[in-house]
Structure 1
Amino acid sequence: MVSDSGVGVRIELERRHSRWYERLLLGLPFQLFVGLLFVGFLPAWNRWGWVFWQDATQVQINTTLAVSLAYVAVTFTLRRVMHFSSGQTAAYILPTVSFAYLLAIAVLFFTRVDYARQVVFASFLLTCFWCFAGYFLGRRYRLPKFALVPFGEGNSLKPRRNLDVRLLEYPDFQGVRYDGVVADLHAEDLPPQWEKFLARCALSHVPVYHVRQIYESHTGRVKIEHLSENVFGSLLPPLFYVGFKRVVDTLAALLLLPIFLPFFALLAVLIRLDSPGSPIFVQERVGYRARRFKMYKFRSMYLNCQGTGYAKGICDPRITRIGRWMRKYRIDELPQILNVLKGEMSFIGPRPESVHLSESYEHEVPFFSYRHVVRPGISGWAQVNQGYAAEVDEMNKKLQYDFYYIKNFSLWLDILIVFKTIRTIVTGFGAR
């Protein structure tokens, strides 16, 4: 309890997980330290025994250092990805652990240093077990629990599978501990006693969130009634990451293009045999900084079958037989690696719109051009969450996803999109 000396009031609000032992057990230091002992030093001790601690060889040092760095990378990546996936990280544990350990093995291999393969494999299995155990425990203890102030837009926020929202009847927690309080801070009908309650929460170190913050973090969308700053406090994405991402895109395109060229040639022949016309479809799109460019795709429709605006869905008669298969697994987008190499696109970003749709949205959404502040992508946040947009309402929803991506433009969100893209390719999610 905290004493308010100004008015002589005893504040009895307590935040969830605020006690010292809770902060210790659920904190990052505990997870790192105990996790490192479990996945890093336990396999080493099991392999070499107490000799490892007394007189470690270079092989033992190399192996332990590699698995420890891999575990640290896994821990930080999953914690950041959890922020954008609203805690639903189970599907990303195995890919994250696998990539981190494969990267560690690749570094060991190319630097030609010796290491113990059995220890690396055992550490990989233990890391998977540790992360899955942490996830299932977190589902019980880490499910966000918020107190909702019932005024303004606060009434529109509903409980979700990954969000526990409880409507307050009185300006008091009544003995329940919450992770934070959600309120419409701009509500005109917020009574004075509730304003004092929010002040008490702040004094008690209980976070107070605006309702739109929680809406965005748990839907992955930004409402587009107005233009808002991104998480870095300005309308511009971080220039360092923009440059870093461009370098990664170029290197990845140079690596993938020679690998895919034989497949491209085979696919071009199949498209040509399936229907007459060029296997490559070229369309003018609006891209980075609102510049127009020619985007390449494998042709998936019959020639001279122009649409009248939006797509017609999965039964669109304009789509060829092989085109339907390509669209399901997004293979028709692969030639855009050339656009990436030319600097017109990125692997991850908002999908570039046609000139016609861009001009239309410029009239409907005054700040639509802000969408062009980052390079468009082959895959994006809207595609992996929504799939193809076929109607006007779906296109508006797609814009909300795009603005969320721009607002939260970061390496961690791009990593999450990569994982979701792999799932999309494997399952054909959102195809038309």
Structure 2
Amino acid sequence: MTKQPIAYLTGEYPKVSHTFIQREIEALRLNGWTVEACTIRRAAPNDIVGTDQHREARDTFCVLEAAKRPATLIGAHIWALRRDARAWAKAAGLAWRTRPAGLKAALWQVFYFLEAGVLARHLHDRGVCHIHNHFANSSASVAMLTSEMSGIPFSMTMHGPAIFFEPMHWRIDEKIARAAFVSCISHFCRSQAMYFSDPIHWDKLKIVHCGVVPDDYGHGPRTDRKKRIIFVGRLDPVKGVPLLLDAMARVVRDHRDATLTVVGDGPSRHAVEEQSRALGLGDCVSFLGYRASDEITGLLEEADMLVLPSFAEGVPVVLMEAMASRIPVIASRVAGVSELIEDGVSGFTIPAGDLDTLCARLDTLLSDGDLCIRMGNEGRQKVEADFDLSSEAAWIGALFEGALIETLPDSLRP
């Protein structure tokens, strides 16, 4: 069947920490899909890095920018009422029924409803036939209400772990019930979605991995080892960087030539830089801030291992990038991480927050270059087999096709 236009929505797009969404959209476009990129709000300027992201930002429809224009906001809801007053009223009722407790939360729900009217008008004008949303929180609320108001079916990708801390606040049970399908990034993610939804909807829960293009990584030989450790991620307490710095302070006693490169930015940057100075780590730790995707690829080429000691995660794409680069990884054994890393084979998984185990695993890799090479090769094979973006984009594209077929009259279905 001819690929009909679809829309991708999320809370902030594009942004450096969500490059996997941009890659997924690009892969779908390469497969012949017309994808209308939409975002609830613009990402902060320092979160948009590189030429590709700036270009994508220019071409992305921002709901809040449009909704802040009174004529656009009022006009969209007048259009929705004239088009189908019953659907508009049902969307208003759905917004009210699924509101979280408290006055402030109810007010936010009003905003989501107003945004839904603006998005519904925009998607109708663009001929969009399906909405797909990444993350199951506020942007998914807007997607669900837009779907109810416009009649355009929606689906969503669930990531976690944060959404599973407040599942009823965000009414993921209702979203799963109303979605055409739900893409879950791991078996763990799907299990949590099953726990918080009615079993009659479990067949909607499909595992679609985030992925990378393996051929973009791992071009250089892995023979020139210099004990270079890299961390890539948002500098936020959940990522466990203070634990990594404590570990570095220990391991450099035996590995004086070991270095750590911290790539990323965020609310904890000042604190972790201060900690590094207090620990006397000096030049063995460098903080680079955010870097564009191609720069990160180059930094992974130069690194000997990647460490991600997070306290909570989904299945981090940066681990896939490192494994595709043929370097071993050390990561906390949380959520779906063990579905990517086989402990002792392609890297090490450690108990979250366990400093002693982190130090021991760092010492093992810093002491054994041959092990690093073997683990790096195993990691590359794992990514090629199970986390190749082209395969995952084809799979989610097939789910879109199935959802679109379901919206056709019986006489037009294949």
What TM-score, normalized by structure 1, do the two folds share? 0.28
Larger radius of gyration: 1
Q: Which has the higher strand share?
A: 2
